[in-house]
Each structure stands twice: as structure tokens, then as C-alpha cells.
Copies of this chain bind each other. A is one copy, B any other.
Amino acid sequence: MLGRDASENGREKLRAVVMVSGGGTNLQAIIDGVKDGTITNTELVGVISNNRNAYALKRAEENGIPGLCVSPKDYETRAVFNEKLLEAVDGFQPDLVVLAGYLVVIPPEMIARYRNRMINIHPSLIPSFCGKGYYGLKVHEAALARGVKVVGATVHFVDEGTDTGPIILQKAVEVEQEDTPEVLQRRVMEQAEWKILPKAIDLIANGKVQVEENRTVILP
């Protein structure tokens, strides 16, 4: 059970950290959502990228959100990177960690520490086209190769598995006859990801998401 909302920790707003690897269009959707009131009771307190050149860091800067790069390349061992990453996340004192196109494996210590407080967006209707090897364009390539007519996206809490955690929101998107993986990827972003990720953050910020075993209950 989550039930952590803005009032419970004595803070005015839920503190959210967004973790990204690339362009950060989902980060942009979150920034826009906070600005336009789709996401309420939420403060974006930090953006962490594993990639110094990620355009997402530029978006953070332009919007006055502290940005950090923590790259595995800067550390001799994965263990040290994991430690530094966790330090960086903890440093923001977040109530919620949002993986928004973050392509680095999350350290187990971090999964345990942020259980039911870390969410991920996946560009398919889980349990279709998810798990190891299904990320980015590969998801859409696999969907087109299978010839499915409906795809979508999923926001879920992060657990020890790959895309196995409790599902918060899903949205379906229709495949069109002439779709390429790139065209389909873009439509899934526009019609699903950029809608359900901000909505999930808003629900969590307002204490509307309960976790019961491996499922979520969305309160009215």
C-alpha cells in the first residue's frame, strides 16, 4: 500500500525526481503537466541522466529544475556507480522516482529503497512486448513483426523484475496499415505515454494509488 500523498510527509507537494537517458519527451510531458495543472501537488525537484549530452538535461535547465549526470562510464565498477546513483537520487529527498526513458539497470538497493515509490513508463501493453530486450524501438519493431492491430503503453511501479511490477495505468493505441516502427513509436508516445505518465504522477501525488499485492487500486 502506498497512500503517500503530499500531506502525509508534512510537505506541501510530492517531490518527484525524473530519470532519463535521451531526448526527454516524457520529461517534457511531465513538465507541461505540472505547468498546465494536469499534475497537481507535485514539485519536480531533479532530473538525473546517465548521458551528459541528453537533451533532457537541457529541458531541465530551461525549466529551472536541477539536473545531474551520473554515468556508469565515470566509475570503475558498477558497484561504485550504483552507490553514486543512489546517493544522487537520495540527495533530492524524493517521494517519487519517475523512470522516463531511463535505459540503465536500476540497482537492487534502489528498487528496495523506493519500492512503490518508483514508476516506469513502458511503450507496450504489458504483458505484451516487455521484459528483457524490449526497450525503445525494439518494442515497436516486435509489435509490427507480430502483426498486432492494437498496441499501447503502461505505467507501472518498478520491482525486481523487468516490467513485472504493479500496473498503474495503461492506454491502447491502434496500429495503422502503413506504420513503420518510428511512426508507431511516435503515435504511442503522443496518444498514450504523454497522457498516462502525467496522469499517474497526479494520482500518486494525490494519494489515489494503492498497491495490493502485485496490483494497484485507483481510488476515486
Interface size class of A (residues with CB under 8 A): 20 to 34
Candidates B146, B152, B170, B177; contact of A127 at CB < 8 Å? B146
Q: Mark A142-159, 1 if CB is under 8 A from B, else 0.
A: 000011111010000000
Contact B147 A218 (CB under 8 A): no
A142 to chain B, nearest CB (A): 9
Rounded to whole angstroms, the CA-CA distance of A146 and B125 in the bound complex is 12
Contacts of A167 in B (CB 8 A): 146-149
Q: A77 at the A/B interface (Cβ < 8 Å)?
A: no
Complex-state Cα separation, A168 to B146, whole angstroms: 11
Contact B147 A125 (CB under 8 A): no
Question: Does A217 count as interface, using CB distance less than 8 angstroms?
Answer: yes
B177 engages A147 (CB within 8 Å): no
Q: Is A166 an interface residue (CB 8 A)?
A: yes
- Closest chain B residue, CB of each to CB of A127: B128
Q: A177-B217, A217-B177, A218-B177 are in contact. Are A150 and B171 (CB under 8 A)?
A: yes
Residues of A within 8 A of B (CB): 125-129, 146-150, 152, 166-172, 177, 214-218
Given contacts A125-B150, A150-B172, A177-B217, 15 further A-B contacts (CB under 8 A): A125-B125, A125-B128, A125-B172, A127-B128, A127-B146, A127-B148, A128-B128, A146-B214, A146-B215, A147-B167, A147-B215, A149-B168, A149-B170, A150-B152, A172-B172
